[in-house]
């Protein structure tokens, strides 16, 4: 086990990349702590799988280095890195039995038979396949096969890291929960570094201690689920995390006031002159309705979606469509013409990146 | 859903029935007809019963031709199948080179049988043939007209030259259908090259390989033109395979009765082998589903 360091790492699938858009992975520097559970989250095609394959050694990066602990493994083949990886679609050896499948990585490393048998039994129990150990893997269902793939990934105890590439895509929803919980339990038990690629935020937020959000080949934020929710570093994190995502509105900032489509929105801090395209963002959880007497953004309510625990309100405003989450105790909608935002919860972005206030508004505004 | 009964629908089958009858069933019945009759010419036929079949079954000629045929088919399968797999494994998987290799490999398949026979006939000649004269220069005399071993080797090498491509192309298609993740998983599992072949490539090629073996078996079992052009079935009857013998009997000697009986037995052997292959293939499929 080791911490994984990515140093000046970048990768392009084009042999002579000349511009930034040629890179599937833009230059990055990151340290993945030993024993951490990381979720790599992002839309399809953002470079998640590329990054994973660079770490596992299936792809050699165009530039930069990969370090396991202090050892530079950039040029080391996959086998030498001692890593386990589970792929999106089940990979099983059809002609082998389930038992042989699970034992395969151990046998290739020349472990002794008694150890292999014990280990295989343990893993089989964990993935719930004890009864099928003697069966050929060929005729099993897709989710049974994927469980074998998961099992094969976890069968070695001494791996540096286990990488999961959207492993639960083909699994039934109820089984997903169970496996996810097992993975988490396993992580606590053995303390392997775990990197879990997914485009499903629920999966990412429940599975990992730290979520790494990727967007267009870049790691835009690495943080706890709470960080991502409260302080998104990038507009992408804002609208990708959360359901519905963060509301973003073009704005002009003057000190502690944002002008949004002619309306004044109070901020909790003072901002200096901002360069580029300026936006403010507010999570639907912190948008409330008002009758206009306390100011706010004029809005026309388009529809209400009842999603069980709460209701989602969609409103048309001069600054675009805004979503709000209405709590159970929200006042009746009649007469509500404006939306107000909780100043402490407003994020300010310039050219999509989060800006911090230069001073606190508390006390000065009075 | 209720099915509507409409007996008139049978008429829709009629065209196919007529076509198959005209092109297959009636000609086959003509052969059956000849196989149970004898003639002394003048278009007068006599009932002969199973006489021709008995004669053919007890004839050394047929049995030795069948023996040669089986040895030939077995030999070329033993060479072409592994060779085809090796070629397929070593072909580039993508890029310009793979297209180039595919075209090069497919070339022999495009050459007509009799031309292949002629090419090898000339190629192996000791006076003007490149292969024959080169071997002669090395002190090896290749004389398929006199030496049965040389004739056999030439016929087998010619078939390998002509048809290994088919096996290679089919295997290549099978290999191309393996998702990259399998190879990646194997690398992560530290599988050896042999294990990758044994547990990933071979099982995934299984289906196409079976078809390749079936096609090559049927084709080689019915081979006629190439050895006929190359050796004429000689020296003596060393390379006289079933088809060559059959044509000699039917067209050369005009022994229609025995030739017809021979044809029918030949046909039954091929039918039997097809059935065995079919059964094996379907059982394998069933196993897969289970």
Of B182, B190, B203, the CB nearest to A91: B182
CB B145 within 8 A of CB B152: no
Range 51-90 of B in CB contact (< 8 A) with A: none
B201 Cα to chain A: minimum distance (Å): 10
Has residue B138 been placed in a domain?
yes
Q: Do A105 and B189 touch (CB under 8 A)?
A: yes
B35 falls within a domain: no
Nearest chain B CA: its distance from A129 CA (Å):
17
Report the range of poorest mean pLDDT among A153-162, A287-296, B82-91: A287-296
**B247 conformational bin, left if phi > 0, alpha if psi -120 to 50, beta if neither:** alpha
| Stretch A39-44: mean pLDDT | 84
Let me know if residue B7 belongs to a domain: no
Residue B123's nearest CA partner among B100, B78, B149, B153 is B153
* Least confident range of A176-180, A314-318, A331-335: A331-335
Residue A167 has pLDDT above 60, yes or no: yes
Q: Nearest-CA residue of chain B relative to A93?
A: B199
3-class SS of residue A278? strand
Chain B residues with CB-CB distance to A94 below 8 A: 199, 203-204
Q: Is A93 on the interface with B (CB under 8 A)?
A: yes
What mean pLDDT, rounded, does chain A reach?
83
What CATH number is attached to the domain comprising B174? 1.10.3720.10
Please check whether residue B153 lies inside any domain of the structure: yes
Task: Give the tens place of pLDDT for each residue, A81-132.
Answer: 888 888 888 888 888 888 888 888 888 888 888 888 888 888 888 878 888 8
Kindly report, residue by residue over B56-81, the tens digit of the pLDDT. 778 888 888 888 888 999 999 999 99
Give the 3-state DSSP-derived string for A233-253, with helices as H, strands as E and coil as C.
Answer: CEHHHHHHCCCCCCEEEECEE
Q: Which of A56, A108, A139 sits opposite B190 (nearest CB)?
A: A108
Residue B214 lies in a domain: yes
- Beta carbons of A96 and B199 less than 8 Å apart: yes
Instruction: Give residue A364's pLDDT.
Output: 37
Residues of chain B with pLDDT under 70: 1, 285, 287-290
CB A88 within 8 A of CB A149: no
CB nearest to B188's CB, from A85, A93, A94: A85
User: Which of B190, B192, B288 lies at the smallest CB-CB distance from A105?
Assistant: B190
Is pLDDT above 90 for A162?
no
Give the up-direction half-sphere exposure of residue A73: CA atoms within 13 A in the CB hemisphere.
Answer: 25
Rounded to two decimals, the ipTM of the complex is 0.73
DSSP symbol at A330: P
Do A89 and B181 make contact, defined as CB atoms within 8 angstroms? yes
Contact at CB, B195 and A85, closer than 8 angstroms: no
Residues of A in contact with B204 (CB under 8 A): 94
Q: How confident is the model at residue A137 (pLDDT cuts 50, 70, 90)?
A: confident
The pLDDT of residue A1:
55
Cβ <8 Å between A94 and B203: yes
pLDDT level of residue A366 (50, 70, 90 thresholds): very low
What pLDDT is recorded for position B1? 63
B91 vs B109: CA distance, rounded Å? 17
pLDDT, tens digit, for every residue of A220-234? 888 888 888 888 888
Is B15 within a domain? no
A88 touches chain B (CB under 8 A): yes
Cβ within 8 Å, pair A79-B181: no
Q: How many CB atoms lie within 10 A of CB B68?
A: 20
Is B51 among the domain residues?
Answer: no
**Domain with B197 in it:** 61-289
For chain A, which domains are there?
Answer: 4-240 (3.40.50.300), 247-360 (no CATH)
Question: DSSP string spanning chain B?
Answer: -PPPP-GGGHHHHHHHHHHHIIIIIHHHHHHHHHHTEEE-STT-EEE-TTHHHHHHHT-HHHHHHHHHHHHHHHHHHHHHHHHHHHHHHHS--SSHHHHHHHHHHHGGGGS-HHHHHHHHHHHT-TTT-HHHHHHHHTT----TTT-HHHHHHHHHHHHHHHHHHHHHHHHHHHHHTS-HHHHHHHHHTT--HHHIIIIIIHHHHHHHHHHHHHHHHHHHHT--HHHHHHTTT-STTTT--HHHHHHIIIIIS--HHHHHHHHHHHHHHHHHHHHHHHHHHHHHHHHHH-
Instruction: Note the pLDDT tens digit of each residue in B237-270.
Output: 888 888 888 888 778 777 777 888 888 888 888 8
CB of B200 within 8 Å of any CB in chain A? Answer: yes
pTM over 0.80, yes/no: no
What is the distance in angstroms between the Cα of B95 and the nearest Cα belonging to chain A? 14
In this predicted structure, what is the pLDDT of residue A363?
Answer: 38
Cis before B235 (ω within 30): yes
Would you call B190 an interface residue with chain A, using a CB distance cutoff of 8 Å?
yes
* CB-closest option in A78, A89, A94 to B179: A89
Distance CA A28, CA A7 (A): 7
Could you count the other beta carbons within 10 Å of the beta carbon of residue B153? 14
Mean pLDDT of A34-54: 84
Say whether B191 and A87 touch across the interface (CB within 8 A): no
Residue B155 lies in a domain: yes
Q: Does B284 touch chain A (CB under 8 A)?
A: no
Q: What pLDDT is stored for residue B86 in this prediction? A: 93
Give the total number of structural domains in chain B: 1
A96 at interface of B, judged by CB pairs closer than 8 A: yes
**Which pLDDT belongs to residue A362?**
44
Q: What whole-number distance in Å separates Cα of residue A69 and Cα of residue A82?
A: 13
pLDDT at position A329 over 80: no
B184 Cβ under 8 Å from any chain A Cβ: yes
């Amino acid at each position: 086990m080791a911490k994984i360091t990515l140093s000046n790492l970048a990768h392009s699938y084009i042999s002579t990349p000349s511009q930034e858009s040629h890179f599937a992975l833009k230059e990055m520097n990151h340290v993945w702590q030993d024993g951490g559970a990381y979720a790599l989250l992002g839309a399809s095609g953002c470079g998640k799988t590329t990054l994973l394959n660079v770490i596992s050694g299936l792809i050699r990066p165009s530039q930069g280095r990969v370090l396991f602990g202090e050892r530079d493994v950039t040029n080391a083949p996959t086998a030498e890195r001692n890593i386990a990886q589970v792929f999106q679609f089940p990979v099983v050896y059809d002609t082998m039995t389930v038992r042989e499948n699970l034992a395969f990585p151990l046998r290739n490393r020349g472990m002794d038979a008694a150890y292999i048998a014990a280990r295989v039994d343990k893993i089989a129990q964990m993935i719930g396949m004890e009864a099928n150990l003697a069966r050929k893997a060929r005729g099993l269902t897709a989710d049974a096969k994927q469980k074998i793939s998961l099992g094969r990934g976890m069968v070695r105890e001494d791996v540096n890291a286990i990488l999961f590439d959207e492993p639960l895509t083909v699994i039934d929803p109820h089984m997903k929960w169970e496996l996810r919980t097992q993975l988490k339990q396993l992580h606590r038990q053995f303390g392997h570094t775990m990197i879990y690629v997914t485009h499903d935020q629920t999966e990412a937020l429940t599975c990992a201690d730290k979520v790494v959000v990727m967007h267009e080949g870049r790691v835009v934020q690495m943080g706890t689920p709470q960080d991502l929710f409260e302080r998104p570093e990038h507009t992408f994190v804002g609208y990708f995390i959360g359901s519905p995502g963060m509301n973003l509105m073009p704005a002009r900032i003057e000190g502690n006031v944002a002008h949004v489509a002619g309306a004044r929105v109070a901020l909790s801090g003072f901002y200096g002159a901002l360069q580029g395209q300026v936006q403010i963002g507010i999570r639907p959880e912190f948008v409330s309705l008002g009758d206009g007497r306390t100011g706010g953004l004029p809005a026309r309510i388009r529809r209400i979606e009842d999603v069980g625990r709460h209701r989602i309100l969609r409103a048309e405003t001069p600054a675009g469509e805004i979503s709000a989450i209405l709590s159970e105790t929200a006042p009746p909608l009649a007469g509500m013409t404006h939306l107000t935002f909780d100043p402490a919860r407003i994020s300010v972005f310039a050219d999509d990146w989060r800006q911090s206030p230069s001073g606190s508004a508390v006390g000065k505004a009075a | 859903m209720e099915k509507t009964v409409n007996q008139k629908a049978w008429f829709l089958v009629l065209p196919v029935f007529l076509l198959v009858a005209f092109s297959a069933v009636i000609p086959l019945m003509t052969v059956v007809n000849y196989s149970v009759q004898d003639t002394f010419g003048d278009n007068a036929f006599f009932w002969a019963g199973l006489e021709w079949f008995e004669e053919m079954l007890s004839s050394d000629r047929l049995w030795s031709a069948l023996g040669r045929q089986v040895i030939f088919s077995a030999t070329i399968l033993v060479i072409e199948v592994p060779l085809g797999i090796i070629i397929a494994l070593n072909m580039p998987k993508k890029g310009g080179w793979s297209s180039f290799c595919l075209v090069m490999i497919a070339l022999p398949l495009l050459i007509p049988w009799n031309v292949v026979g002629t090419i090898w006939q000339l190629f192996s000649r000791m006076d003007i043939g490149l292969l024959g004269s080169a071997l002669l220069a090395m002190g090896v005399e290749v004389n398929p007209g006199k030496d049965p071993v040389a004739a056999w080797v030439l016929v087998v090498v010619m078939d390998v030259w002509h048809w290994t491509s088919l096996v290679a192309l089919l295997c290549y298609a099978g290999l191309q259908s393996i998702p990259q993740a399998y190879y990646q998983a194997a690398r992560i599992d530290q599988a050896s090259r042999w294990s990758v072949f044994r547990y990933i490539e071979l099982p995934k090629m299984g289906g196409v390989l079976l078809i390749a073996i079936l096609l090559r078996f049927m084709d080689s079992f019915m081979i006629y033109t190439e050895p006929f052009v190359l050796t004429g079935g000689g020296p003596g009857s060393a390379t006289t395979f079933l088809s060559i013998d059959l044509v000699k009997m039917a067209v050369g000697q005009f022994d229609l009765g025995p030739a017809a009986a021979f044809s029918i037995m030949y046909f039954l052997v091929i039918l039997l082998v097809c059935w065995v292959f079919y059964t094996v293939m379907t059982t394998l499929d069933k196993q897969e589903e289970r």
